[in-house]
Amino acid sequence: MKYTLIVTEKPDAANRIATALDRDGKPKKSIQNGVPYYRAYRDGDIIVVPAIGHLYTITSKQKSRNYPVFDYHWVPRYKAEKKADRIRIWLRVISDLAKDAEKFVDGCDFDIEGSIIGYTILKYACGEKQDTAKRMKYSTLTTEELQIAYDNSLPHLDFTLVEAGLTRHEIDWLYGINLSRALTEATKAANGQYTTLSAGRVQGPTLRFLEKRERDIQTFVPSPYWRLTAKIKIDDKTYTGEYEKPPEILANAKMIQATSKTKTGTIDSVKSHETTVKPPVPFDLGSLQREAYKLFHYSPIRTSTILQHLYLDALISYPRTNSQKLPAAIGYKNILEKLQKDHTYTKQITELLTKSNLKPCEGKKSDPAHPAIYPTGNLAQKPLDTATKNIFDLVVKRFLAVFAQPAVRQNVNVAVNLNNNLFLFSLTQTLSEGWFRFYQPYVRVREDVIPLLSKGQPVEVLRVTLNTRYTEPKPRYNPRSLLLEMEKSEIGTKATRAAIIQTLHERKYLNGTEQLVVSELGFEVIGVLERYCPEVVSPEMTRSLEEKMEAICQGKESKQNVLADAVEILKKVTAELKVREGAIGTQLSLALKQLRANSRTVGTCSKCEGGQLVMLRSKMSGKRFVGCSNFFEGKCNVSYPLPQKGTVKPLWRYCRICGAPMVSVYLRGKKPWALCVDPQCNSKSTGN
C-alpha cells in the first residue's frame, strides 16, 4: 500500500493534523516501539508521524575537548547527547514508514525551527526526500485551516528559511562550543575542577546589558533635591500640588515654603483637554510575554510554554511570531461568533458584532510566516489551570480590544496660587471607555473625581511640606524590560530570547527573578569576554549577523559567506583566548570559589561576632544542617536542622518573627516555599 507521509513537529500536532485530514475525523492510531503515528484517508492514504522536537543536532567531528573547533556535521541527537537514546528508536520508526511512502509532506510549524526539523528528517531519515517533499503552511491547528494547508500544500520546502535556520544553528553552535570550551578548559586548568561555563553570540551581549546596568547602579552617586508640596482641600476632597519648579538650593526651598504658608489660596488657572487613546495592537510574542510578566509575573519562558500548549490545543494561533497584524483572511466574524458561546465574552462580542465594519487596530511589525497571535474561536474542552486560563483570557480580550472604539480621557491641569507661589496638580478621568471595557481587568488607568473648578476660586490650604529627596539610578532589569532591550537591540529571535535569559540563570550568572542581578561569576565572565574578545559581547556584531541571516531568508545572501565571516571572527577570538588561558582560568576560578561559598551561606550568626551560618553535612550521619563557621575554631556551637529531602537554597533574608535566616525548599512537583531555619520559631505554629 502506497501512502503520503506527513512529518510533524510534536505528537499533539500529528494527532490534530490526522484528525483534520481523515475523511471521518477518526484516524487510526498505531504505536511502534513506543512511537505513535496516525493513519488517515483523504483522497488517498495518509500516515502522519511526529518528531519530538529536534531529532538532529550539530556536533564536532573530533572527539577531544580541544578548541578551536570548526569541523562539524549534523548527526542524530543520540550520537551527540548521552540521554537521547530514545531518538534512535524514533528515527528507526520514521525511516521504516518512509520506505513505502510515495509522497512526502513537511507538516512542521512554519518557522525556522520547524523548517529545520522537517528538513533534517526528510533528508537524513527519509532518504533524501527534502527536494521532492511538499510543505504545509498554517498558523492554527484548527480543522478548517489544516485541511486548506494540506489541499494547497506548497510545491516544495521553504528552502530560504531552511538555509537561514541551518546558518543560525551552525553559527550559534560555533560560537557556543568555542567560547564555552575556552572558559571551561581555562578554569579546569587553573583549579583542576570541571565546571560548565558557557558563552555565546546572544548570551554575551545580553549579559553585557545586565552587567553595565549593575555597574551603573553600584557606582551611582545620589544627588539631593527638594520637593515642595501643598495639601489643598476642595469640596471635602484633598489634592497634592507640587511647586511649579523644583528648587535647586535648599535655602530657596525654605524661603518658598515660608512664603507659601497661608490658610487660603486661589486657583490661578484651569486647563482642560481631551485625549483619544487608540486601541492596543495585536500581540506578537515579545509584547505578550512582557504583558504577561507585568500582569501575572510569569517569566517569559513560562509564558512561551503556556502559549505552546494553547496552540497545540488549537485554542490560539501560532505564538512564535513578530507580527502585529491580523489579516481579514482569518475570519474575524467567525472567530467572534464562536467565542460568543463562552458567557465570559458574550456581552462584549455581541456589541462588537453590531459594527458594520470589523477593522482591527494594527501595529507596524509584520511577519511573512504568520499573523499576530489571536484566538481561533475554539473553546477549551477541559478545564484550564489558572495560569493557562489567564493567558488565554489575555489573548481573547486583546483580540476583542483591537476591534473596539478608541477611549476618550479628560485631563485637567490646575495651578493654585499660594502668596504668588504656584503649586500644580493634575486630574484625569475617562469620558468614554471605548476599548477599555473590552480589555478589563487588564487596563490600569488613573481615575479621579474632578470637581467644578474655576479661575479665582478660593481653596483651603492644609499644609506646605518640604522634603529632601535623592536622585536614583535606573532600575535593574527585570525579565520584561530585558526582553524589550533585546528586542530593541535586535539580538536573539522571538523564539530564543526567553531561553537566553533562562540559560543565564542556569549558569549562575544571574541572581533573582524579579530584579535581575549579575552574580560575581557573571561579572567575571563578562569581564573576560570584554577584555580579550570584545567582539562577542557587542550588540552590533550580533545585530549584523541577524541582518545577514534575514538576508538569507530573502535570498540576498548565502550560507557559505555568512559562515565564512563568522569563522574568521572566531579564529581571532579563540587565538587570543588561548594565549590568555592562564590568566582567564585564575580569574574565573576565584569567582567560582566565591560562588560556591555564597551558595552555602544562609546569613550571619546572631550569637557570635563574625560568624557566618552555612549549610553543612555531618560526617557521622550524612545529614545536612546549618552551622556557624566559627564552630571549627571552637568559638560557637549554633546549629539548626534542615529538611533532608529536596533542594535547599539560601534566601538571604531573615524571619520577621525571630530574626533567623530563611531558606527556600523545593520538592519536585511542588512549589518552593520559604522556611525559617529555627525550629523553635513561632512561625512554625502561626503558619507565617
Residue 448 belongs to domain with CATH number = 2.70.20.10
Is 483's pLDDT higher than 90?
Answer: yes
Is 688's pLDDT higher than 50?
Answer: no
Q: Which distant-in-sequence residues (6+ apart) come within 8 Å of 151 by Cβ?
A: none
Residue that terminates a domain, selected from 592, 623, 645: 592
Q: What is the CATH classification number for the domain harbouring 519?
A: 1.10.460.10
Residue that terminates a domain, selected from 544, 563, 592: 592
Mean pLDDT of 161-185: 92
* Residues 28, 68 share a domain: yes
Could you give the angle at which helices 539-553 and 559-579 cross, rounded to 10 degrees? 160
* Residues 70, 182 share a domain: no
Query: Alpha-carbon distance 502 to 510, whole Å?
Result: 9
Q: What pLDDT is attached to residue 660?
A: 86
Say whether 119 is catalytic. Answer: no
Query: Alpha-carbon distance 546 to 167, whole Å?
Result: 10
Cβ contact 140:314 at 8 Å: yes
Q: How many CB atoms lie within 10 A of CB 28?
A: 12
Query: Does a structural domain hold residue 396?
Result: no
Query: Does a structural domain hold residue 566?
Result: yes
Quick: pLDDT tens for 48-58: 999 999 999 99
* Residues 567, 505 share a domain: yes
Is 312's pLDDT higher than 90?
Answer: yes
Residue 684 — very low, low, confident or very high, per pLDDT cuts 50/70/90?
Answer: low
Mean pLDDT of 84-99: 95
What does the mean pLDDT of the chain come to? 92
Q: What pLDDT is attached to residue 685?
A: 55
* Residues 13, 149 share a domain: yes
Report residue 97 as a C-alpha cell: 514508514
* Residues 113, 22 share a domain: yes
pLDDT over 90 percentage in the chain = 70
Residue 389 — very low, low, confident or very high, per pLDDT cuts 50/70/90?
Answer: very high
Is 314's pLDDT higher than 60?
Answer: yes
Query: Does a structural domain hold residue 475?
Result: no
* Residues 680, 648 share a domain: yes
* Residues 239, 300 share a domain: no
Quick: pLDDT tens for 264-301: 999 999 999 999 999 999 999 999 999 999 999 999 99
Query: Alpha-carbon distance 661 to 152, whole Å?
Result: 64
Is 555's pLDDT higher than 90?
Answer: no
Could you give the count of Cα atoms lying within 13 Å of 101 in the half-sphere of its Cβ?
26
Q: What is the DSSP letter of 224?
A: E
Is 351's pLDDT higher than 90?
Answer: yes
Q: What is the CATH classification number for the domain harbouring 294?
A: 1.10.290.10
* Residues 9, 122 share a domain: yes
* Residues 528, 493 share a domain: yes
Q: How many CB atoms lie within 10 A of CB 545?
A: 22
Residue 181 — very low, low, confident or very high, per pLDDT cuts 50/70/90?
Answer: very high
Query: Does a structural domain hold residue 415?
Result: yes
Phi-psi map region of 121: left, alpha, beta (phi>0 left; psi -120 to 50 alpha): alpha
Query: Does a structural domain hold residue 130?
Result: yes
For the chain, how many structural domains are there in total? Answer: 5
Q: How many CB atoms lie within 10 A of CB 611?
A: 19
Query: Does a structural domain hold residue 394?
Result: no
* Domain assignment of residue 292, given as a range: 285-383
Query: Does a structural domain hold residue 476?
Result: no
Residue that terminates a domain, selected from 423, 451, 470: 470
DSSP 492-561: S-TTTHHHHHHHHHHTTSEE-SSS-EE-HHHHHHHHHHHHH-GGGG-HHHHHHHHHHHHHHHTTSS-HHH
Query: Alpha-carbon distance 658 to 676, whole Å?
Result: 9
Q: Which element (helix H / strand E) includes 566? A: helix 559-579
* Residues 15, 143 share a domain: yes
Considering the candidates 56, 239, 318, 509, report the single residue annotated as catalytic.
318
Residue 599 — very low, low, confident or very high, per pLDDT cuts 50/70/90?
Answer: confident
Quick: pLDDT tens for 144-155: 999 999 999 999
Cβ contact 331:385 at 8 Å: no
Task: Kindly calculate the radius of gyration of the chain based on its CA atoms and give it in whole angstroms.
Answer: 31
Query: Alpha-carbon distance 247 to 368, whole Å?
Result: 54
Q: What pLDDT is attached to residue 632?
A: 74
Mean pLDDT of 322-350: 95
Query: Alpha-carbon distance 505 to 503, whole Å?
Result: 5
Q: What is the DSSP letter of 124?
A: I
Phi-psi map region of 512: left, alpha, beta (phi>0 left; psi -120 to 50 alpha): left
Mean pLDDT of 309-338: 95
* Residues 24, 134 share a domain: yes
Cβ contact 379:142 at 8 Å: no
- Of 651, 627, 656, 630, nearest to 639 by C-alpha is 627
Is 34's pLDDT higher than 90?
Answer: yes
Q: What pLDDT is attached to residue 687?
A: 47
Question: What residue type is assigned to position 533 of the chain?
Answer: C
Is 309's pLDDT higher than 90?
Answer: yes
Q: What pLDDT is attached to residue 657?
A: 86
Quick: pLDDT tens for 606-662: 888 778 889 888 888 888 899 988 887 778 888 899 998 888 888 878 888 888 888
Q: Where are the beta strands (DSSP E) in 332-443?
A: 407-418, 421-432
Of 56-65, 88-97, 174-183, 538-547, the one with minimum mean pLDDT is 538-547
Of 45-49, 104-108, 569-573, the one with minimum mean pLDDT is 569-573
Mean pLDDT of 355-377: 93
Query: Alpha-carbon distance 116 to 243, whole Å?
Result: 61
* Residues 113, 17 share a domain: yes
User: What Å distances lie between residue 545 and 303, 347, 553, 670, CA to CA?
Assistant: 27, 49, 13, 42
Cβ contact 625:618 at 8 Å: yes
List 662's β-bridge partners, or say none.
676
Query: Does a structural domain hold residue 292?
Result: yes
